[in-house]
Structure 1
Amino acid sequence: MVETLFEDMFTVTQKDPDGKKFDRVNRIEARSEQFDMYMLLDVNTEIYPMRVKEKFMMVLASTLNLDGTPDTDYFIQGNKKSLADKFEYVMHGKLYRISEEGSGKHVKANRASDSMSTI
């Protein structure tokens, strides 16, 4: 069974806080209910529209395989069930932690993990 690394409900608090930068993508600000966490997230709103005050569940997992085995580096279309089947919108890739170091405009993005699935 796949074990999730993080789960929480978020509410969209703002869309494109610094102005719209991409054609099909909106940057949303959201706040979580359980951990009172702040998040900036880029979402392809052309295929998954999101509105301010809308709620969504964020799940982080190290694999989409229901048996917990690691994902392969390629996608094989088929009838195999996965954790993604339980959600409407799934992102897969690298997860970065952004932190400010020092003063001024110095922002650093650290890779938090090699591969995560954001569901």
Structure 2
Amino acid sequence: RGAASPSSLAPRFRVPARTASRRSRLAQRAREMPPAVSGTTIFDDIFEVIDKDPDGKKFDKVSRFRCRSQFEAELSIDVNVDIYKLDVGTKFTLALAPTLSLDGTPEDAETYDQTGKESLADAYEYVMYGKVFKKEDENVGGIAKTCVTASYGGVLMQLRAGPKK
């Protein structure tokens, strides 16, 4: 197998106010590592929830959130609100990475790792694993943005962002 492709991205969520000490140590360690070692995070930004279930609630345990980042990225994401609560006005960090391994090693897609070994997931409160199934480059009014759509076992995420300056 080669390196993990960008089509298997796992977003990680972190709400800074509820970070435990072990989680803080792991997050600090991950930030101090070079990108190839820190799990190769390819996108991260702080988002604020601006709307919840804009088209009405379709499922009991899942809500769709519209969010905007400090760098003007737009995010629409389905979250299992039974296990992770988000409210309008909540700020959270979203990170996308092709692997959870702290040394950048790709995961084996057919095996669930039960070793208990530290991973990038330890630095976050809510982690999803899925596949990017659509990527489109857009140019609206001279502003270049990329729109990425991913599925996480039936829940969806759509991220529209331009390059960070």
- 1:1-22 superposed Cα distances (whole Å, 9 cap, x missing partner): 1221001000000000000011
The structure with the greater share of residues assigned to strand is 1
RMSD of equivalent CA atoms: 2.2
Alpha-carbon distance between aligned partners in 1 of 2:56 and 2:135, rounded to the nearest angstrom: 19
TM-score (norm 2): 0.58
Q: How does 1:1-119 map to 2 (within 5 A)?
A: 1=37, 2-33=39-70, 35-73=71-109, 74-97=111-134
For residue 98 of structure 1, report the CA deviation from its aligned partner.
Answer: 7.3
Unaligned ranges ≥5, structure 1: 100-108, 113-117
Write the distance in 2 (CA, Å) between the matches of 1:110 and 1:83. 22
The residue number in structure 2 matching 1:102 is none
- 1:111 positional shift: 6.1
Which deviations, in whole Å up to 9, do the C-alpha atoms of 1:13-50 show, x marking residues without a partner? Answer: 000000001110000000011x2011100000100010
In the TM superposition, what is the alpha-carbon distance from 1:89 to its structure 2 partner?
Answer: 0.2
As a proportion of its length, which structure holds more helix?
Answer: 2
Provide structure 2 residue ranges, at least 5 long, that are not aligned to the other structure. Answer: 1-36, 137-146, 151-156, 158-165
Flag as ranges the 4+ runs of structure 1 deviating above 3 A. 96-99, 109-112
**Normalized against structure 1, the TM-score is what?**
0.79
Give 1:62 shift.
Answer: 0.6
